[in-house]
Amino acid sequence: MSKMSKVVIPEMPPLEREMIALRIANMLEDGSYVNLGIGIPTLVSNWIEGRDIIIQSEIGMLKCGPLADEGEQDQDRINASCQFVHELPGTCYFNVETSFAMIRGGRMDAAVLGALQVSAKGDLAGWNNPARGLGKTGNIGGSMDLAVGAAKLIVAMEHFTPAGEPKILEVCNYPLTAKECVDVIVTNYALIEVTPKGLVLREAIPGITAEDVQKMTAAKLIVADDFHEMEL
């Protein structure tokens, strides 16, 4: 693995994972079909109760309901992360070829995915951490299809690795999921939009300055004219 510089970590505590999910939930539009990936993205579903948003699970389920507790579980009803789920009024089931016709055919208004790295151009690396030592193999799952097919791709992730290495870089050095696909990055410190001009810093959490965010980011950030505190 290539050597990476460490970020400067501010004293201000970062957002909890649930709060990253809340910021993303507030970004989703009513009337939209959304696919949520594994990890922080799954938590977004906790914040959309009562909203007019339909969750697609790529296993083959539209209107995927909340997680099912013991006693309410059915071995034939799981989501794409192998968790037992409930169905809702209006749920429908279908096969994987139909599920990925929805994803590849551009029917997902938004997808929320986790990431290992995102580049200044919006390249996404999320399926293969070289540290695991699997070379060119690994778990691709539906990530490449979602990255290419979703109308809006939102990345939910921690701003840097547990070792303090930056995850937002000029160029990804991990194997790519897809090129130039990310629209917005929401981290535990900031909200950054990928634009043709570069990465635009739009929001930071309370107590964090644009300069702080830049010191945690290994790609050049353009500070938005209306840069402001993240509201939750």
Q: Which residues are catalytic?
A: 58
**Binding characters for another protein, 134-173, by CB under 8 A (x = yes):** x-xxxxxxxxxx--xx------------------------
**Closest to 41 measured CA to CA, from 55, 51, 52, 31:** 55
Using the rule CB under 8 A, give the single segment among 5-13, 57-65, 193-201, 206-214 that binds another protein: 57-65
- 87 is a contact residue toward another protein (CB under 8 A): yes
- 69 is a contact residue toward another protein (CB under 8 A): no
Residue environment code for 182-220, b if the CB has 16+ CB neighbours within 10 A, otherwise e? bbbbbbbbbbbbbeeebbbbbbbbeebeeebbbebbbbe
For the CB of residue 187, give the shortest distance to another protein in the complex, in Å: 22
Using the rule CB under 8 A, give the single segment among 41-49, 130-138, 158-166, 214-222 that binds another protein: 130-138
**Binding characters for another protein, 192-221, by CB under 8 A (x = yes):** ------------------------------
In eight-state DSSP terms, residue 51 is S
Among 21, 59, 108, 213, binds another protein (CB under 8 A): 59
Do 116 and 143 touch, CB atoms closer than 8 A?
A: no
- 49 is a contact residue toward another protein (CB under 8 A): no
The alpha carbons of the chain give a radius of gyration, in whole angstroms, of: 18
Strand partners, 112: 36, 154
Q: What's the per-residue H, E or C state across 210-222?
A: HHHHHHCCECCEE
Contacting residues toward another protein, per CB under 8 A: 38, 57-61, 73-80, 82-84, 87, 93-97, 100, 103-104, 123, 128-129, 131-134, 136-145, 148-149, 175-179
